[in-house]
Structure 1
Amino acid sequence: MRCPFCGNDDTQVKDSRPTEDNSAIRRRRFCPACGARFTTFERVQLRELTVVKSGGSREPFDREKLLRSMRIALRKRPVDADRIDRVVNSIVRQLESSGETEIPSSQIGEMVMVHLGTLDKVAYVRYASVYKDFREVTDFNQFVETLRTDAPAG
């Protein structure tokens, strides 16, 4: 593996262990050329996924982009980073096991909405504001009102 600091191709693995949810292997590496230490993660990828955007364009599925969008929605919310990672892993597993190689971006967005709805309602509204393209304050009000009417009494 190439060192991200100096570009040396000959790095050494110092420690390998599975992540908590056993979805990846965490490797601590050392570069003998510059002395840097860094971590890599090895994950199983069942198939190459392509995201089909609403405009018809296609791009390779990017797990990190999904993770970033969820972290943005959950910023400053009381949700543990490991829990976010588990949700992302779950979404990726669902997508990979669907049998489809081309996934509409709307399907991914809906999956994120479902998970955020159970994780944190504020993050759910934040994500929805971008995903559903809220333009006015009234868009927020209408969406929050649907949450209130859909919520169980109590």
Structure 2
Amino acid sequence: MCPFDIHEGNLMPAKRKLTMRHIRQMLRLAGSGTSSREIAVILGIARSTVQDNLKRAAMAGLSWPLASDLTDDVLEAKLFVHPGVKQGQRLRQEPDWGPLSIELKKPGVTLLILWEEYRSIHPDGYGYSRYVAAKFMLRQQGMSQGFR
């Protein structure tokens, strides 16, 4: 495999996924006093990647040696969670698409008008482009299930 992404004339190094093994090695090396620069050279990754992941580990309260029962999935969840956002919950209020579909069938009613009403009720709700995209996706799902 070529270490460079030569598709479309791009000669940038190909992006590789950072494995939990790399992160464990990072933590081990950092725990033994190795600098971020040296860790980057040893693992063949960018120094900024090392610094970012060590910072994530510190924020998660992780240091070497890791607990023996800490699986890769748990380690990943501790390092890569979005602070302040509970998993499985939406950040914005979802519009009630059922009544909106009925309203759209009325003459003179547009998505823009419905979105303006939605934003007056939910000022921190979806922007117009996301609102239209969500409606379009919902419509596509309905058509694939035989609805119109």
User: Shorter-chain TM-score: which interval?
Assistant: under 0.3
Larger radius of gyration: 2
Choose between structure 1 and 2: higher helix proportion.
2
Choose between structure 1 and 2: higher strand proportion.
1
TM-score by length of 1: 0.23
Considering Cα pairs closer than 8 Å and 6+ residues apart, tell me whether 1 or 2 has the greater RCO. Answer: 1
